[in-house]
Amino acid sequence: MSKAQTLRTGHVGLNVTDMERSLAFYREVFDFEVMAEGKDEGRRWAFLGREDRLMITLWQQSEGTFRPDAPGLHHLSFQVGTMGEVDATAEVLRSLGTEFAHDGVVPHGEGAESGGIFFTDPDGTRLEIYAPTGADPSAAPTPGAPTCGFF
C-alpha cells in the first residue's frame, strides 16, 4: 500500500470560547462565509470558507485562552497575493482593536522579500497574513530567527 500521493491541507479546526465573537472576527477579517453551522446548546460549531472551499472550523468547546507554551497549534498562516491585501487587512484588524505581535508589516527574516502581519484572534490564537513578495527587506524583528516563530 502506498502513501498518500496527493496531499494538501484540508481545513483547520480551532477551539473557541465564544462562537458569536469568533464568527464576527473571522468573517470580518477574512471575509469567510458560514458554510454550515450547529447551534445546539453545548454543541456549537461553524464551518467557514470561501467559494465553496472549507478552510476553518470553529468549535465552541474550550475555556481560557490560547497557550503558546502548550503542545499543539503554533500559529495559523494565510497567504495573500499582494502586500496591499496585507495592509488592508491590517487596517481592519486595527479598527477591531486586535493585538499585533510586531508593529506593522515585517519581513519573514533578515532581508526577506516575503513578510506580513502577526496577530491574535479573540481567544489569543496566533495568526499570520503574508505576501510572498513586497515586504520591506529591512531587519527582521528578531535577528537570526524566523518572524513566524513569534519570538
Distance (Å, rounded) from C-alpha 124 to C-alpha 126? 6
**Spatial CA neighbour of 37 closest among 25, 12, 20:** 20
Is the pLDDT assigned to residue 8 strictly greater than 90? Answer: no
Determine the residue type at 45. Answer: W
Instruction: Tell me the percentage of the chain whose pLDDT exceeds 70.
Output: 99
Cell of 48: 467557514
pLDDT tens digits, 15-32: 999 999 999 999 999 999
What rounded mean pLDDT belongs to the chain?
A: 93
Better-predicted residue by pLDDT, 102 or 150:
102
Q: What pLDDT does 1 receive?
A: 65
SS3 label, residue 90: helix
Nearest to 29, CA basis, from 108, 81, 97 = 97
pTM: 0.91
Amino acid at the residue 4: A
pLDDT confidence of residue 18: 97
Q: Which amino acid is at 52?
A: D
